[in-house]
Amino acid sequence: DDALFGGAGNDNLAGGAGRDFLSGEAGADSLWGGSEDDWLEGGPGRDILAGAEGRDSLLGGDDEDSLDGGSGDDVMYGEGAFDIMWGRDGNDYMNAGSDHDAMDAGPGNDALVGEWGNDYLAGDLGNDWIDGGPGNDWIVGGPGNDVAFGGAGDDVVILQEGDDVTATSEGNDFLLGGDGQDQLYAGEGADWLDGGAGADALYGDGGHDILHGDAGADWLLGGEGNDWMIGGFGSDVMIGGGGGDVFVFYGPVRGDTDRVMDFTNGVDMIQLGGAVGGTPQAKLASLSISSIWLEGNQAAVISWGGMAVILDRVTPGMLDVADFLFL
């Protein structure tokens, strides 16, 4: 078990076997941990820290550093300036600190914290917990059941395979759930949410949002603002919330029955694809609009090409060509 100090200058320190403490101190240093549980501290200067094997702790310092945890469950702090961090194998904790940073956790169930700055955070394989913090962040979850928070700023969150949960706050965000049963919460701002394949739940909150359920039986809630609600393939449930919303149905998908729970006549619009006719009036006439009782209230059913859309608390007589946008 060694304790090595670099002092002033550009130093190369290697711990080797044993539990080692390496401190580069001032200068552009290179620190190599070795095979056991090591502590590497870069200090001032642009440093390279590599933990190799074992459960290592890496502290970059105030300048632009490169941190590589190697195999094992590692703890890494980039601290100040622009840092690049790799977790590699293991269940790692990575904290970028202030400034704009880039982190790739590698395989394992990892925790990534971007803090301040415009950060890139990639969880890779595993069930990861990712917090971008304030700033315009780019978050990639990778395969696994991930939880991601964008924080304030204009964020991009791409979660890929797994049953994921993501939430952002202020900012104009893009959220993509990918495959799996995902929950996407957008927060304030003009946001774009895409659930991907699977039965997803999308929440737009404040702002003029676009919600796309994609494949699967999805739940879409627009919140305040003038939202575009696109269910995609599958039987979806949509609630526009406050504002003038547009509910979009691209074309007839046989067997799909979508439901709009809060269509407001004269405020909201229905956009349909696949209706037959040359004029809006002819396309409206080609639709079958009937009435049913649903949960104690009357509802209108719009049918065409084997697809149906149910409008809660709406009667057929309330609908005219002004309520539709035809593709």
Task: Give me the average pLDDT of each 10-residue run along the chain (327 residues).
Answer: 85 87 91 90 93 92 93 93 94 93 96 95 97 96 95 94 93 95 95 96 95 96 97 95 95 82 97 91 96 96 93 97 95
| Phi–psi pair at 13, nearest 5 degrees | -120, 130
Tell whether the torsion through CA atoms of 56, 59, 63 and 64 is positive or negative: positive
Lookup: tokens for 293: 């009782």
Lookup: tokens for 156: 């991009």
Q: How many Cα atoms sit within 13 Å of 50 on the Cβ side?
A: 12
Beta bridge partners of 194: 176, 212
Dist CA 59 CA 66 (whole Å): 10
Judged by DSSP in three states, 286 sits in: helix
Q: What is the pTM (predicted TM-score) of this model?
A: 0.91
Dist CA 268 CA 325 (whole Å): 11
Beta bridge partners of 237: 219, 259
Lookup: tokens for 316: 């057929």
Task: Give me the pLDDT at residue 309, please.
Answer: 97
Dist CA 102 CA 15 (whole Å): 26
Task: Give me the pLDDT at residue 18, please.
Answer: 82
Name residue, tokens 């999805």.
218
| Residue 252 buriedness (CB in 10 A; 0-12 / 13-18 / 19+) | middle
Give the total residue count for the chain.
Answer: 327
| Greatest Cα pair distance in the chain | 84
Lookup: tokens for 80: 């100040």
Dist CA 157 CA 186 (whole Å): 10
| Residue 26 buriedness (CB in 10 A; 0-12 / 13-18 / 19+) | middle
Task: Give me the pLDDT at residue 35, please.
Answer: 83
Domain range summary for the chain, segments of one domain joined by +:
3-246
Task: Give me the pLDDT at residue 252, please.
Answer: 63
Task: Give me the pLDDT at residue 327, please.
Answer: 85
